[in-house]
Amino acid sequence: MGNVQSAFWERVDRLWVALASVKITFVVFFGLLLLSIPGTVILQYNISSVDPGVQYQYDFWRFGQIFQLFTSYHSFWYVGLIAILAINLIACSEQRWPQMWRLASAKPVAWARETFLQQASDLRHTWQTQVGKDEALRSVLAAVRSPLAKPVVVEEGPDSFQVFWQTGRWSRIANYLVHTSLLVIFAGAILSSLYGFEGAANIPEGQAVDTFLLFKEGKASGLEPTPEGLLNERLIGFRVEAERFDVKFYPDFPGRPADFVSKLNLYENGELVKSGEIRVNTPMTYKNFTFYQASYGRMGDYKVKLRLLDRRDPLNRQASLEGRLGVAVTAPDTLTLSKDKSPVKLVALQAADNLQGLGPGVLFQEVKDDRPVGEAFWVLQRFPQFDFRRDAPYAVVVDEVREVFFTGLQVGNDPGAPIYWFGCVGLLLGTFYALFVTHKKYHLRYERGQVDFAATIHRLPMGFEKRVARWAQTFQNFLKPTPGSIPAPSGENA
Amino acid sequence: MSLHDLAIRFLNISSFVYLASCFAYIVSIARTGKAIRTWSGIAAGLVAIGFLLHTSGLGMRWYIGGISRPPWTNLYESLIFFAWGVVVFQVYAQYKWKMPLVGAISMPLVLILMGMSVMTPNKLVEPLIPALQSNWLKIHVVFGMLAYGGFTLSGCFAFLHLMRNGVSLSRIGSGLAMIALLNLFIAGGREAYTTGDFTMAKTALRQLPDGTEIRTKDTYREYEDGPVITRMEKVSAATVPFWASVVLFLGAAVVLWTKRRRLPGADSLVSPTTAAEAAARGGDVEALGLGLFAGGVLGLVALFGGIGYAIHGSETLTLQSNPYLTMLLMMTGFFCVMYLIIARRFEKFLGALPNAERLDELSYKLVLFAFPFQTLLLVTGAVWAYSAWGRSWGWDPKETWAFITWIAYLIYLHGKLLLRWRPNWLSVMSIVGFVILVFAFLGVNLVLSGLHSYGAA
């Protein structure tokens, strides 16, 4: 029995070792490189603006459905690749860790003279000096000591010592930070895809909704489907009212929006729980819902603020009214100015932002019992006296004409976000540390006036020889070389 | 003349100065001994002048747009800014690393970018739409410039390294001929293979709201005048040169691949006998291959001539109407000409380069520099998308291709650090990465669509 078990674990062990294969890593890398491409060429559900089912012929669509081509980045083959990558990464990291840790954490040891001679000739400097041991040691330490480098001193004999220090040794295992961060990002992404959701709603100004159409929904999003609603329509548990939506355009570039902003009110159980403004790049959060200003659109509707004035006493007898296109507004009973002495009833039929260069204007029609009375008439906002020319007992002055838009909101919940942003920070720190910092070791040995100074670097020695030469120069400032003790570069040979 | 026109004039002039510097580089390759230094010095001086004009043009556009609108917010400016970044890296490499000849590879790339910017119809300094009004715009794009500029120069060094490291000249020629074939294959359009006619859009058309179509002017406002549409037309004057260059490049690819002449390595350069021996071994066949290659290049030139003949009046090639034609054929033509010149003077060109190890190191060093910035590009893009649209990663084509670029250089780094790939393979990977990068930067916007389609609300 025990044998069977140990055989089993042996097999597991062997599998684990096999999973750490670098071949797997490269197969996955090239796989990701190639398999990321189809999703950018073939239409994707919820990414492309065109539905693949509409665009492609039936045979290709069937084929694509089977191989999940239209949801490439969530397909079994793509997710499978990433899963293999994660397993491979964990296996590799686990199995290489002892070796890597030893490399990074190893305490440097003093070098034998031969080790100095083995170093590349441009990373090695040798000279004779008259300076005595104690003074040499003191001045070398004074020159070397810094917050980053903790020099180690080994007194090898009565007349000799060695000072050595290193910088950037953690860059050797900074790749662990990078790889762990990638796993953290994966974890955050999994959490988001299980519990998160993304949706959108278009709300006309002044109206409210309590459902959103989701285009991405995790299995455990916790949102209720809307009764008798669309397949992807979900109740969010409160009402979102777009109290006001404003869009400003650049004056010299018509049609190019400069800013758009929605004033939102959120009502839960009939009570106002939150209100605020959102605009592009500044979202608003309530509970675990974040609302983003994504877009806007025209509805062909206008809001009109007007005043109805009695022509005989316009200053004292007037009423302010508010209406929209196609909706009748009625003057108060005090202003019975229609032909049959009943309150005037007006409908705004049409509006324009700029009527033939004269500014905003509205086309009104007086109505009575849903039938037009007289002819429709234009009123211009910029010319308040304009309507006084019309033959009627009353005149209309327009105070405001404003186009009504719908605001395009997106709503999202991304519970994995804090986790993957944390991972991103680690990824960046790790990448910069691993690739910008190198592990450098410096050794200086003194023996009866003989100074050997050499350095090693774990990657790309390019340019490093200059830094080593600068250090040598620093030391030579106080460990003055005796004349002729620095051999010419060509003569220098181990 | 307004400041706006002056900026465009400056940028156009800088393109011509860069063109002049390209010719100076070509002369420097073709010369020997001290003349190489003289001519590469002249080229570097021209680059410096072009760079000053280039920088002041960008600066003026920044001044016009105001502090919050940096000059890299639409296609025109992106091309110019990317080119600027490549020049910055090139100038650094030329002075800091004493690599004057890298300009012979990178300057044509800059010139192509600048040429494409000249062909972009929309050159207005437009104010920003709300989604772009963010400080992330400045940060994100600057990181992109650092990453893409570094990778581009890395690719240039990789190319020089491949030449220097004794990769057969014929192999490089064969590879270039295959790339030319691929580009022709794409540029010819589907029609070429079904009916045999070369088809292209003679110009970009705009469809006005009332349904009428007008040709694009030099400068226009996309959102005002309606979308740009393309209509493919037969260009019979270009059909013969098209097929001629396809056949010739095919022949060159085959001949150069089958008979490769090992060129003398770095050390044997000094020995003229070795070079002569090597030439004798396969010289004739290679000459045939080079001849076919030259014929292919002439075919390309004739193809452009045919296109020029077919286009007249208000019809102009633009980036929007013919992304493949303008991008791929320009690049192909330029590099093929460069190759022919280098092939004639290959030994001398090699003699002017530093040793292969150093070229490999510089290429690697640039990847080490650029990769973290590519990572930053991805992360800042995600943060920005999260604050604007509430999703950090949406797999839209631009994002995905930036990710693919990242993967390509990930392969480079792991090949170098984990598998200790041979330098030649690393150089190939760096060039592959560069090609992917070009597609991520331009191809996606011109060919695929996505959120990054500049200027669209």
Give chain A positions within 8 Å (CB) of B388: 280-281, 292
Tell me the CA distances in angstroms from B329 to B19, B40, B116, one per residue in order.
17, 27, 12
Report DSSP letters for A322-341, one per residue: EEEBT-EEE--TT---STTS
The verdict on a CB contact (< 8 Å) between B387 and A26 is: no
C-beta separation of B281 from B273 below 8 A: no
Chain B: give the shortest CA distance to residue A153, in Å: 33
Residues B395, B373: Cα–Cα separation, whole Å: 20
DSSP single-letter state for residue B130: G
Beta carbons within 10 angstroms of residue A109's beta carbon: 12
Tell me the CA distances in angstroms from A339 to A231, A373, A379, B261, one per residue in order.
54, 9, 20, 104
Query: Which pLDDT band holds residue B118 (cuts at 50, 70, 90)?
Result: confident
Q: What is the interface size between A and B, counted as CB pairs within 8 Å?
A: 129
Give chain B positions within 8 Å (CB) of A411: 390
pLDDT above 70 as % of chain B: 83
Same-domain check for residues B187 and B239: yes
Contacts of B213 (CB under 8 A, 6+ apart): B205, B206, B207, B229
Instruction: Give the end of a domain, one of B318, B344, B370.
Output: B344
Chain A: give the shortest CA distance to residue B201, in Å: 22
In a domain, B384, yes or no: yes
C-beta separation of A455 from A168 below 8 A: no
Beta carbons within 10 angstroms of residue A275's beta carbon: 14
The verdict on a CB contact (< 8 Å) between A281 and B457 is: no
DSSP β-ladder status, A371-380 and A124-128: unpaired
- Residue from A33, A34, A171, A409 to probe the interface with B (highest B Cβ count within 10 Å): A33
In a domain, B152, yes or no: yes
Instruction: Give the end of a domain, one of B311, B344, B377.
Output: B344
DSSP single-letter state for residue A110: P
Q: Select from B224, B397, B415 the Cβ nearest to the Cβ of A254.
A: B224
In a domain, B188, yes or no: yes
| pLDDT > 70? residue B233 | yes
Q: What are phi and psi of A196, to 5 degrees?
A: -90, 170
In a domain, B170, yes or no: no
The verdict on a CB contact (< 8 Å) between B391 and A412 is: yes
Chain B: give the shortest CA distance to residue A323, in Å: 30
Report yes or no for ipTM above 0.90: no
Chain B: give the shortest CA distance to residue A41, in Å: 7
Residues B53, B59: Cα–Cα separation, whole Å: 10
Same-domain check for residues B236 and B373: no
The verdict on a CB contact (< 8 Å) between A256 and B371 is: no
Instruction: Give the end of a domain, one of B293, B314, B344.
Output: B344
The secondary structure element, H or E, covering residue B233 is strand B232-234
Residues B39, B27: Cα–Cα separation, whole Å: 7
The predicted structure's pLDDT at residue A253: 76
- Domain of B70, in residue numbers: 1-128
More confident residue, A285 or B457: A285
Contacts of A339 (CB under 8 A, 6+ apart): A373, A393
In a domain, B52, yes or no: yes
Question: Which residue of chain A has the CA closest to B418?
Answer: A22
Same-domain check for residues B242 and B314: yes
Q: Beta strands of B41-120 (E only): which ranges?
A: none
The secondary structure element, H or E, covering residue B182 is helix B169-187
In a domain, B169, yes or no: no
The predicted structure's pLDDT at residue A215: 85
Q: Is A443 left (phi over 0), alpha (psi -120 to 50) or beta?
A: beta
The predicted structure's pLDDT at residue B326: 67
Q: Select from B369, B379, B411 the Cβ nearest to the Cβ of A424.
A: B379
pLDDT (mean) for B39-45: 91
| pLDDT > 80? residue B30 | no
DSSP β-ladder status, B232-234 and A197-204: unpaired
Beta carbons within 10 angstroms of residue A314's beta carbon: 16
Residues A410, A151: Cα–Cα separation, whole Å: 58
- Both tokens of A416, joined, read 């994995």
Same-domain check for residues B148 and B90: no
Q: Is A46 left (phi over 0), alpha (psi -120 to 50) or beta?
A: left
Same-domain check for residues B205 and B234: yes
More confident residue, A269 or B232: A269
Same-domain check for residues B263 and B286: yes
| Domains of chain B: total | 3
pLDDT (mean) for B120-141: 86
Chain A: give the shortest CA distance to residue B215, in Å: 21
Q: Select from A32, A73, A428 the Cβ nearest to the Cβ of B375.
A: A428
Q: What is the pTM of this model?
A: 0.86
Report DSSP letters for A13-36, one per residue: HHHHHHHT-HHHHHHHHHHHHHHT
Tell me the CA distances in angstroms from A57 to A53, A61, A203, A359, A407, one per residue in order.
8, 6, 35, 50, 35
Same-domain check for residues B190 and B314: yes
The verdict on a CB contact (< 8 Å) between A40 and B401 is: yes
Residues B53, B18: Cα–Cα separation, whole Å: 10
Give chain B positions within 8 Å (CB) of A37: 404
Give chain A positions within 8 Å (CB) of B362: 462
Residues A45, A53: Cα–Cα separation, whole Å: 9
The verdict on a CB contact (< 8 Å) between A257 and B129 is: yes
The predicted structure's pLDDT at residue B10: 93
Residues B449, B396: Cα–Cα separation, whole Å: 8
Q: Select from B372, B393, B403 the Cβ nearest to the Cβ of A432.
A: B372
User: Which of B333, B360, B380 shows the shortest CA–CA distance to B422?
Assistant: B360
The predicted structure's pLDDT at residue B259: 63
Same-domain check for residues B335 and B193: yes
Beta carbons within 10 angstroms of residue A448's beta carbon: 11
Chain A: give the shortest CA distance to residue B457, in Å: 7
pLDDT by position in tens, chain A (length 494): 557 778 899 999 999 999 999 999 999 999 999 999 999 888 888 777 778 888 888 999 999 999 999 999 999 999 999 999 999 999 999 998 998 888 888 888 889 888 898 888 889 999 999 888 889 999 999 888 877 778 899 988 888 999 999 988 889 889 999 999 999 999 999 999 999 999 999 999 889 999 999 888 888 888 888 888 888 889 888 999 999 998 888 887 777 889 989 999 999 998 999 999 999 888 999 988 999 998 888 888 898 999 988 888 888 888 888 888 888 888 887 777 777 778 888 899 989 887 887 888 999 998 888 888 888 999 999 988 888 888 888 889 999 888 889 999 999 899 999 999 999 999 999 999 999 999 999 999 999 889 999 999 988 877 889 999 999 999 998 888 888 777 655 434 43
Q: Select from B369, B390, B413 the Cβ nearest to the Cβ of A292.
A: B390
Residues A379, A25: Cα–Cα separation, whole Å: 73
Same-domain check for residues B417 and B442: yes
In a domain, B182, yes or no: yes
pLDDT (mean) for B124-136: 87
- Residue from B391, B417, B429 to probe the interface with A (highest A Cβ count within 10 Å): B391
Give chain B positions within 8 Å (CB) of A250: 127
**What's the pLDDT tens digit per position in B256-277?**
887 644 444 433 333 444 444 5
**What's the pLDDT tens digit per position in A166-223?**
988 889 889 999 999 999 999 999 999 999 999 999 999 889 999 999 888 888 888 8
| pLDDT > 80? residue B224 | no
Same-domain check for residues B13 and B95: yes
Contacts of B199 (CB under 8 A, 6+ apart): B188, B189, B191, B192, B232, B233, B234, B235
C-beta separation of A335 from A311 below 8 A: no
Dmax over CA atoms of chain B, in Å, equals 74
User: Which of A350, A265, A260, A331 shows the shortest CA–CA distance to A297?
Assistant: A260
Question: Which residue of chain A has the CA closest to B394?
Answer: A47
Question: Which residue of chain B has the CA closest to A71?
Answer: B395
Give chain B positions within 8 Å (CB) of A40: 397, 400-401, 444, 448
Chain A: give the shortest CA distance to residue B18, in Å: 30
- Both tokens of A269, joined, read 């159980």
Chain A: give the shortest CA distance to residue B372, in Å: 6
Delineate the domains of chain A, giving CATH numbers in brackets: 2-104 (no CATH), 113-168+438-489 (3.30.160), 180-299+407-427 (no CATH), 301-403 (no CATH)
DSSP β-ladder status, A160-167 and B205-207: unpaired
Dmax over CA atoms of chain A, in Å, equals 125
User: Which of B122, B194, B105 shows the shortest CA–CA distance to B157?
Assistant: B105
**What's the pLDDT tens digit per position in B328-370?**
667 777 777 777 777 777 777 777 788 889 999 999 999 999 9
| CATH number (domain holding residue B14) | 1.20.120
CA angle (B427, B433, B438) in 5-degree steps: 130
- Average pLDDT for chain A: 88
Residues B341, B26: Cα–Cα separation, whole Å: 7
The verdict on a CB contact (< 8 Å) between B387 and A460 is: no
Residues B107, B248: Cα–Cα separation, whole Å: 27
Q: Beta strands of B237-347 (E only): which ranges?
A: none
Residues A200, A232: Cα–Cα separation, whole Å: 11
In a domain, B349, yes or no: no
Question: Which residue of chain A has the CA closest to B136?
Answer: A281
Contacts of B125 (CB under 8 A, 6+ apart): B4, B61, B64, B65, B69, B71
Same-domain check for residues B119 and B140: no
| pLDDT > 80? residue B382 | yes
More confident residue, B172 or B84: B84
Same-domain check for residues B411 and B293: no
Residues B158, B92: Cα–Cα separation, whole Å: 17
